[in-house]
Amino acid sequence: MREIHFIAGFCSVALIASAAPAVAQGFDVSGLPALSSAQGEDGATTYSLSLQILALMTALTLLPSLVLGMSSFTRIIIVLSILRQALGTQQTPPNQVLIAIALFLSLFIMQPTLTQIYDSALSPFLSETISADAAIAEASRVMKDFMVANTRRDTLLMFSDMVGATAYESNADIPFSTLLPAFITSELKTAFQIGFLIFLPFLVVDMVIASILMSLGMMMLSPMLVSLPFKLLLFVLVDGWAMTVGSLAATFSTP
């Protein structure tokens, strides 16, 4: 639960820090006291409660996109979907179950990163030992380390060349506008490679069953229908779910 609370809190902090100055600069909010910010004696900026609630609701709306684009969720859900198609079980497990597996496995994989962000960014910010800008910068640095560690170098270089960027000195220097598409593209390629390897043994079973049925003259009998119980038996005997989930978790690198 601490990781979930952190994600919502971090999104709120990010949107408060980024959206409020834009509102103050782009609109005349002198007549809108509910959407206002004030400069404190120590130089810190405080925001009205209505503006904080608006930022929080916006963060909750953007949370699914952040989970998809900045975590291990994309790779996991694609591999699980390909596995279900390889088994030929149609809608079993259902989409809700696959999403739940992908979500909780993503929390398991992201736990070290989220814990580091909580300890170094969110917790000091809540205790008022660092400012919001410093907390956002520290959280961004940790997330960038995770994303760069799981992004293919050639993919990152491709997107860097598109924007005309030179070599980056550190992970913190890579902008999210470049890192996010590179990370998602890299995740898609890795997921399809893993899915191809998972699909092969089930394809072999289908081909063997189809050859046997053809040799027996049973051409009217669907090979997919006959091969389904054999594929399920094979998957259960090798403890397929544990192997798949464990292998998926092992494919992610930690910074």
* pLDDT for the residue 187: 92
**What pLDDT, in 10s, does the model give residues 127-183?**
878 887 888 888 888 888 888 888 998 888 888 888 887 777 788 788 888 888 899
Which positions ≥6 away from 125 have C-beta within 8 Å?
A: 13, 131, 132, 134, 135
User: In which band, very low, low, confident or very high, does the pLDDT at 77 lie, cut at 50, 70 and 90?
Assistant: very high
**What pLDDT, in 10s, does the model give residues 90-133?**
788 889 999 999 989 999 998 988 899 888 888 888 887 888 78
In contact, 58 and 94? CB cutoff 8 Å:
no
pTM (two decimals): 0.73
Exposure letters 199-238 (e unless 16+ CB within 10 A, then b):
beebeebbeebbeebeeeeeeeeebeeebbeebeebbeee
* pLDDT for the residue 46: 58
Does position 14 have pLDDT exceeding 50, yes or no?
no
